[in-house]
Amino acid sequence: MGHGITEPGITKPGTALPALSIVIPARNEAQHIVASLQPLQGYRPRVEIILVDGGSSDNTAALASPLCDRVLPSPPGRARQMNLGASAARADALLFLHADTQLPPGFAHRVQTSLTAGHRWGRFDVRLEPGSPLLRLIAWMMNQRSRLTGVCTGDQGIFVQRQLFAELGGYADLPLMEDIELSKRLRRHGRPACLQPALCTSSRRWQQHGTLRTVVLMWWLRALYWLGVSPHRLAKWY
């Protein structure tokens, strides 16, 4: 599955397996990582937390280590990092989470209920914070588009049965659009579950580069991707 895979997670005899493994790709996220990981602590050990550090030059890994079950080093590249984390996960359900995103209360129960009810994969609605009327509109459009198309983005916290993820070979080793590409393959196995309440992800990308400019750029890149332009070429423009 994927690239740079190491040994699977080791379970001590008599240790109960977690119900859900959260895989977090990170690189230079020292500013946000503690705030993202602290709310997850009450769900351990039933929820396993795996952070995959893609060569941070700050102290992301050191800050994350006491708050995770495993911190794994990896070459940079979100798809590679997530595949590596999935290969080390012990649960039958995987949830891929961005390092600047916080899950809503009760997320683990909602994921388990969804998978038990017959969905093989899914995602959460998203909310952008700090917010604004325009950012609330953007989040609403992201959620509605996902419901209509069955295509999800990493911002929405994609979760999937471990077996299905393995059968599909994990994320394609792409520098961009790896979440879109995976969604296209996953939806052949059913529509995604679209869970509420929304998770909260940082709006820093929109704030740093301008909200409208960022929206136009992302729409343009995705349109080109759907028209067949290589993600490697798109990454240069991104």
**Quick check: 202 pLDDT over 90?**
no
Confidence (pLDDT) at 6? 30
- Quote the tokens at residue 195: 């869970």
Confidence (pLDDT) at 7? 31
Q: With contact defined as beta carbons under 8 Å apart, do 95 and 159 qualify?
A: yes
Q: Give which of 96, 203, 212 is closest to 160, Cα–Cα.
A: 96
- Quote the tokens at residue 58: 């700050």
- pLDDT bucket at 71, cuts 50 / 70 / 90: very high
Confidence (pLDDT) at 221? 64
Give the H or E element holding residue 75. Answer: none
- Round to whole Å and give the CA distance between 208 and 211: 8
Note the pLDDT tens digit of each residue in 12-32.
444 689 999 999 999 999 988
**Quick check: 11 pLDDT over 60?**
no
Q: With contact defined as beta carbons under 8 Å apart, do 18 and 48 qualify?
A: yes
- pLDDT bucket at 235, cuts 50 / 70 / 90: low
Confidence (pLDDT) at 10? 38
In order of their start, the domains of the chain are 20-205 (3.90.550.10)
Can you tell me which residue has the tokens 């809503």? 104
- Round to whole Å and give the CA distance between 61 and 177: 25
**Quick check: 149 pLDDT over 80?**
yes
Q: At residue 111, what is the residue type?
A: V
Cα Rg of the chain (Å, integer): 17
Note the pLDDT tens digit of each residue in 106-130.
999 999 999 999 999 999 999 988 7
For 132-139, what is the mean pLDDT? Answer: 86
- Highest mean pLDDT out of 5-19, 57-71, 171-185: 57-71
Count of CA atoms in the C-beta half-sphere (13 A) of 211: 14
- Round to whole Å and give the CA distance between 97 and 68: 13
Note the pLDDT tens digit of each residue in 59-68.
999 999 999 9
Confidence (pLDDT) at 233? 67
